[in-house]
Chains A and B, each alone.
Chain A
Amino acid sequence: MTGSLADALANLPPGLILILGALVLPLLRGRAQAALTLVLPLASFAHLSLFGEGTTATLEVLGVSLTPVRVDRLSLVFGIVFHIAACLSALYALHVRDATQHVSAMVYVGSAVGAVFAGDLVTLFVYWELTAISSVFLIWASRSERATRAGLRYLVIQVGSGVLLLAGVVLHYRATGSVAFTRLIGEDGSLATAGPGVLLILAAFGIKCAFPLLHNWLQDAYPKATVTGTVFLSAFTTKLAVYTLVRGFPGTDALIWIGVVMTLFPIFFAVIENDLRKVLAYSLNNQLGFMVVGVGVGTELALNGAVAHAFVHIIYKGLLFMSMGAVLYRTGTSKASELGGLYRSMPLTAVCCVVGAMSISAFPLFSGFVAKSLTLSAVAHEHLVWVWLGLLAASAGVMEHSGIKIPFFSFFGHDSGIRCKEAPAHMLLAMGIAAVLCVAIGCYPAPLYALLPFEVDYQPYADLGHCLTQLQLLLFAALAFGVLMRTRLYPPEVPSVNLDSDWVYRRGLPRLGGAVGGVAAKLRFALTGVAGRWLSVALRTVHHLHGPRGLLARTWATGGIAFWAILCLFGYLLLAFTR
């Protein structure tokens, strides 16, 4: 009996426990429901340990060979960190009494886990769309007009990405006869020689990875999700996209510059953004840029850097979203203009937030440092000077928005006068575990390095000069903040919304549509006016001539006809003489 159960479990693809478990959740109520939401990721994590490296399951459908499960080093490391994030997020969401959120979160996590273990593009597509459809309920669960609309935009874009993926897979299958999800880009790493199917697949991955100009669904939707929903969302969708890029597009030259742009442009938006959860969304975009650069460089060191960055990023970004979520939960706002001085009321949340901020800024001994160093040294090894400078500038930018702005304007700065309770115990526990992980990985990176897809021959603390330069970069940046505050040059936080590329489809296109419609209507009016006038003149003439009593409609007397006939003949006679 136990043998057959173990067999059945071993045959169940990773992640499916979460999806099937989510179907049971609505049968439970209250605490039991929330508790099962915590048990499911733990059970799924235990289930994952049954799978050894190299496990695959294949299946023949309609003559196409599918690989629903493939376990290798790359998928395992993402599978592990997805489960860590799922456990922490579920613990953080223990107070939620809303079946919609619990069910959608579990299906979402399960499909993201399933996607990283998908060995073929068709299975990937199924999970890809499932992550989109399940996660939108975490946004809609805010149950506000804004969230509903943002959720719809999010859904259209995410499902659109899936449609592009499917189209790409079909074209790729026709070109190569295979749907296996392996390296898709050619050995030269050039997009110019890639087939149309591969380009479509890259576009699909690019949307989910929030490439520049395709990014704005992220900043639009994530801050409008529920307190706990944003924590879930921050971990999976974009990092699933990073995984697919590492798998399908390592060493694609174009990704280097796409990544650099991604690290740089969000930092300007983050400076002027008032909603701190939206600042974190911009910061998330900037962090993805580092990973995309790593994928673009494509050496073993760089790919290790991208994967390690994704791993630690999921934890510290989750921690930052948790701390801002706790602030939102207790005070009802996450706007910098309304917050400040909360360290008095929420000291433990403040400490956790600062740990997250120092991790994302990559202070030595914090997790961001041991991951980002891999990517930066890989870029330096390839002598990509401008890329390296761009990433260094972006690192100082991270210090601005995530290192200083997030903790300063919520917990320190001017006292907003808000006095509230400290975050609930389960939230503190989730944040505490995440904070401990950030410091533990930062101080002792060996276990993380052991998980990476390629062997790591890198000692982040062997070169103390590197720690020194990193400290210089970050502390001088902090000093610059002090100088700007004291000289009052730092822009004040004001209630506002800043235009970004979402303006194009939220205002630009509707306006363009309205304008085109208006012109068309005017044109139609003008045309019908002119044509109408001509038509009425023509009709009046016809009516005049042929209507009742019209000149040509009268009945004429026989004598009159004879007279006109003789007149005509006489005319002919005259013409004949004149010739």
Chain B
Amino acid sequence: MSEHEKRGWLDEPRNVDRLFWGLAIVCALLVVVELVFGRHAEFSWEGWPGFYGAFGFAVFVAVVLIGKRLRRFLRREEDYYDR
């Protein structure tokens, strides 16, 4: 990066922190809104407050960690098929 280049808002680590905590607050608010207003549920267990949030979080973490494990078996050098 050249010295004269303007530093963007995202280049400040402090701002990235703000973004992360902002997202966490929005997530918390979404659960609060759900608790206050309630919602219609298709299946009984799906009506638990925060179900979708917890499910999204858990699936995301699981997908990434399982993918990481899979790399051990599946990863090869870039020229694997050229050899």
Rounded to whole angstroms, the CA-CA distance of A286 and B75 in the bound complex is 21
How many contacts A-B (CB < 8 Å)? 153
Contact check, A399 vs B56: say whether CB atoms are below 8 A apart.
Answer: yes
A519 to chain B: closest CB distance in Å? Answer: 23
CA A500 to CA B20, docked complex, whole Å? 35
Q: Encode contact with A along B50-63: 1 for CB under 8 Å, 0 otherwise.
A: 11111111011101
Q: From A377, which residue of chain B is reached at the shortest CB distance? A: B42
**Closest Cβ neighbor of A499 among chain B residues:** B74
Residues of B contacting A471 in the complex (Cβ-Cβ under 8 angstroms) = 30
Shortest Cβ distance from A290 into chain B, in angstroms? 16
Q: A271-B64, A415-B1, A497-B81 are in contact. Are A397 and B27 (CB under 8 A)?
A: no
A343 touches B52 (CB 8 A): no
Q: Contact: B76 with A344, CB < 8 Å?
A: no
6 A-B contacts, Cβ less than 8 Å apart? Answer: A380-B42, A393-B55, A464-B37, A476-B52, A476-B53, A482-B20
User: Quick check: is A484 within 8 A (CB to CB) of the other chain?
Assistant: yes
Q: Given A473-B52, A473-B53, are A496 and B77 neighbors across the interface (CB < 8 Å)? A: yes
Query: With A and B bound together, what is the CA distance between A489 and B63 in angstroms?
Result: 12
- Residue in B8, B40, B54, B63 whose beta carbon sits within 8 Å of that of A397 in the complex: B63
Chain A residues positioned under 8 Å from B59 (CB to CB): 392-393, 396-397, 477
- Given known pairs A344-B8, A385-B43, A396-B60, the reply for A272 and B67 (CB within 8 Å) is yes
- Nearest 8 A-B pairs (CB), nearest first? A465-B39, A271-B67, A480-B60, A473-B56, A396-B59, A476-B53, A472-B52, A476-B56
Say yes or no: B8 contacts A343, CB within 8 Å.
Answer: yes
Let me know if A555 is at the binding interface, CB within 8 A. no
Chain B: CB-nearest residue to A473: B56
CB distance from A533 to the nearest CB of B (A): 40
Docked pose: A466 CA to B1 CA in angstroms: 44
Given the known interface contacts A469-B39, A472-B50, A475-B26, the answer about A272 and B56 at a Cβ–Cβ threshold of 8 Å is no
Residues of B within 8 A of A272 (CB): 67-68, 70-71, 74-75
List A contacts of B33 (CB < 8 A).
Answer: 468
- Chain B, residue nearest A337 (CB): B78
Q: Hey, which chain B residues are within 8 Å of A385, CB to CB?
A: 43
The B interface, classified by DSSP as helix, strand, loop or mixed, is: helix
A31 smallest CB distance to B (angstroms): 36
A352-399 CB contacts (< 8 Å) to partner B: 380, 385, 388, 392-393, 396-397, 399
Q: Is the CB of B1 within 8 A of A479?
A: no
Is the Cβ of B77 less than 8 Å from the Cβ of A479? no
Would you give the shortest CB distance from A569 to chain B, in whole angstroms? 82
Chain A residues engaging chain B, CB cutoff 8 angstroms: 145-146, 267-272, 343-344, 380, 385, 388, 392-393, 396-397, 399-400, 412, 415, 417, 463-466, 468-484, 486, 489-491, 494-500, 506-507
Residues in B with CB closer than 8 Å to A343 are: 8, 10
Q: Once the chains are docked, how many angstroms separate the CA of A452 from the CA of B8?
A: 45
Q: Which residues of A contact B20 (CB under 8 A)?
A: 482, 486
A-side contacts of B55, CB under 8 Å: 392-393, 396, 473
Instruction: Please name the residue on chain B nearest to A490 by beta carbon.
Output: B64
Nearest chain A residue, comparing its CB with the CB of B75? A496
Alpha-carbon distance A319/B57, docked complex (angstroms):
27
The docked-state distance in angstroms from the alpha carbon of A483 to that of B23 is 11
**B30: A residues at CB distance < 8 A:** 468, 471-472, 475
Roughly how many angstroms separate A474 CA and B77 CA in the complex, as a whole number?
34
In the complex, given contacts A400-B63, A469-B52, A489-B64, what are 15 additional A-B residue pairs having Cβ atoms less than 8 angstroms apart?
A: A146-B82, A268-B63, A271-B68, A272-B68, A272-B74, A392-B59, A393-B59, A399-B60, A464-B37, A465-B38, A468-B34, A476-B54, A479-B57, A480-B64, A484-B61
Question: Within the assembled complex, what's the spacing in Å between the Cα atoms of A484 and B59?
Answer: 13
B75 touches A267 (CB 8 A): no
* C-alpha gap A359/B5 in the complex (Å): 32
A499 to B76, CA, bound (A): 7
How far in angstroms is the closest Cβ of chain B from A355?
Answer: 18
Residues of chain B in range 1-58 having any CB-CB distance to chain A below 8 Å: 1, 5, 8, 10-11, 20, 23-24, 26-27, 30-31, 33-34, 37-40, 42-43, 50-57
- In Å, the complex CA distance between A478 and B60 comes to 8
Chain B hits for A412, CB < 8 A: 10
Residues of chain A contacted by B40 (CB below 8 angstroms)? 463, 465
Q: Who on chain A is nearest to B73 by CB? A: A499
Known contacts A417-B1, A472-B31, A396 near B64 by CB under 8 Å: no
Cα A533 to Cα B59 in complex, Å, equals 68
Choose from B53, B63, B81 the contact partner of A271 (Cβ within 8 Å). Answer: B63
Note all chain A residues with C-beta closer than 8 A to B27: 472, 475-476, 479
In the bound complex, residues from chain B placing their C-beta under 8 Å from that of A396 are 55-56, 59-60, 63
The answer to whether A491 and B71 touch (CB under 8 A), given A417-B1, A472-B31, A497-B77, is yes
Given A468-B33, A479-B24, are A491 and B52 also a contact pair (CB < 8 Å)?
A: no
C-alpha gap A498/B31 in the complex (Å)? 38
